[in-house]
Structure 1
Amino acid sequence: MTRPRTWFITGASRGLGRALTEAVLAAGDRVVGAARDVSPLAGLAAAHPDALRTIALDISDRAAVLTGVERAIAAFDGLDVVVNNAGGMLYGMVEEATEEQIRAHFDVNFFGAVWVSQAVLPHLRERKAGRILQVASMGSGGGVATVGFYGAGKAALASLGEALAMEAEPFGVRVTVVQMGGYATELFTRGTTATAPHPAYDDLRARMAEMWGDETGPAPETAAPALLELSRLPEPPRQLVVGSASFDMVQEMDRTRTADLLRWEDLSRMAPG
């Protein structure tokens, strides 16, 4: 009989983190769920007293992350799968964002994942096994107006994730950057910090709002089976787009970038480097 694996999931109380926590428990594995507010997990913890532990954790606090990861390791005597899922949205134009908003955004969306990765790696490296899933975005390959800081944070996380994959693989630890599509996770509601709008951008803001539309996307529960399957692969990819529609969009964005690259090939080749 295969022993249950132990997952450490940040941002576990809502959205994708909550959906994945429920799916992992249903699959017979165990979860240490971390979030700033773990009260939404109380009912789930009561239903799974032997398989779910919760930790109140602000991942932007590096010292708290180090302590929290030690508690997570002790909860079930080890970790097998780590999911850096916690994050938020900073919505607004680049010029509008304050220094405080920008730093707070990156503290969670980028540095928080860095602190968790640094904290779990010695444990996984010693065990010579483990998985780390870095939850990025299908849009992390390029910037889009009004969500530039979100894309920038996810792009940084994706780039670092690929580097981490190269560094960790010799120790038996596999890292995958998960490029999530648009799911109904409350990212644009509860998880959003908005800038103070400048009237100079009113027209562009209206066009972007029309482009985003009112479609909230599929429920995050629909993404959980793909993540579970990813966690079981003996040779997982370093990057994975999650979502059928998202796959098509990423493929089209890559075609556009390639066409633009070739359009300016002569100018590029003017320099010898």
Structure 2
Amino acid sequence: MSKTIFITGASKGFGRIWTEAFLERGDKVAATARNTETLADLAAQYPDTLLPIQLNVNDRAASFTAVNRAAAHFGSLDVVINNAGYGLFGAIEETSEQQARDQIETNVFGLLWVTQAAIPVMRAQGGGHILQVSSVLGVATLPVLGLYNASKWAVEGLSETLASEVKDFGIKVTIVEPNGFSTDWGGASAFHTEANPLYEDVKASLYAGLTPDTIGKPEATAEAILKVVDEENPPLRIFLGKVGFPWLSQVYADRLATWEEWKEVADAAHGHATV
């Protein structure tokens, strides 16, 4: 049975790949982009099942209009995918106020506005599925991506809370956590701070660790996304790529070890005798 999909950031990268995968199998897709000309070829190929919508997710009113337009056009919205976002590369000290605000504005508030617009639509129809595109960097961090890390940690907290709030409406939430992929996220779509030479070694160390084997092929993610949206009981979280699980397993082992080491100090800070 075909589904109706609303996806942001559909002009390139994951958004474009997933949009094509949905359309190829017969789903109906409302695909948003800042410039809908980037979707012109798909619109010509799928005139009845693709609805291109111009949208800057930073505009809350426009986000509500876009979601409601898609729901009215197709009659329902089974799946909403918050994919729009970008990476800001630079040390925290290097980051300007405007760069910091813009990163959070798009990656967090843009996602929030679309999510808020989708909830009443899905509640009225008795259910739905919201996919929030986070990152492995929403669970652990790498240097030189501090504001991006912060934005995805915010997405994680917001989305986990959302899942507990809307489950009784029949709305399911999945947080998608890709590792690095060869999209233009780190290229043409990326923003960079003004470099401070004091951080050259930190940056060099980071980039040296990005070997071809650690970078996934974005086209390979489509099958996983199709499986997630078709799943009756989808996961709250899913990694995309083979890097996340072993890396985050070690990160959590290290965190647990530290918490255990400091447990007596933590317990004493509670202020009551241990039972």
Cα distance in 2 for residues equivalent to 1:187 and 1:77: 33
Pairing 1:4-19 to 2, within 5 Å after superposition:
4-19=2-17
Give 1:174's aligned residue. Answer: 172
Give 2:256's aligned residue. Answer: 258
Consecutive unaligned residues in structure 2, runs of 5 or more:
none
Letter in 2 for 1:118: Q
**1:244: Cα distance to partner?**
2.6
Cα distance in 2 for residues equivalent to 1:179 and 1:143: 13
Give 1:184's aligned residue. Answer: 182
Cα distance in 1 for residues equivalent to 2:144 and 2:210: 11
Pairing 1:1-273 to 2, within 5 Å after superposition:
2=1, 4-213=2-211, 217-272=215-270
Aligned residue pairs: how many?
271
Cα distance in 1 for residues equivalent to 2:19 and 2:72: 19
Consecutive unaligned residues in structure 1, runs of 5 or more:
none
**1:114: Cα distance to partner?**
0.1
Q: Secondary structure at the match of 2:248?
A: helix
Q: Secondary structure at the match of 2:124?
A: helix
**8 A Cα contact 1:182 1:246, kept in partner:** no
**8 A Cα contact 1:145 1:208, kept in partner:** yes
Cα distance in 1 for residues equivalent to 2:210 and 2:262: 30
* Residues 198, 245 of structure 1: alpha-carbon distance in 2 compared, 3 angstrom cutoff: closer
* Residues 216, 18 of structure 1: alpha-carbon distance in 2 compared, 3 angstrom cutoff: farther
Cα distance in 2 for residues equivalent to 1:48 and 1:216: 35
Q: Secondary structure at the match of 2:137?
A: coil
Report % sequence identity: 39
* Residues 194, 216 of structure 1: alpha-carbon distance in 2 compared, 3 angstrom cutoff: farther
Q: CA RMSD in A?
A: 1.6
Q: Secondary structure at the match of 2:207?
A: helix
**8 A Cα contact 1:38 1:56, kept in partner:** yes
**1:145: Cα distance to partner?**
1.2
With structure 1 as the length reference, what TM-score do the two structures score? 0.94
Deviation string, structure 1 residues 110-144 (Cα, Å, up to 9, x no partner): 00000000011111001111100000001212332
Letter in 2 for 1:184: S
Cα distance in 2 for residues equivalent to 1:170 and 1:58: 30
Deviation string, structure 1 residues 246-272 (Cα, Å, up to 9, x no partner): 222222222222222223333333322
Cα distance in 2 for residues equivalent to 1:145 and 1:99: 18
**1:13: Cα distance to partner?**
0.9
Letter in 1 for 2:143: A
**1:105: Cα distance to partner?**
0.8
**8 A Cα contact 1:184 1:216, kept in partner:** no
Q: Secondary structure at the match of 1:28?
A: coil
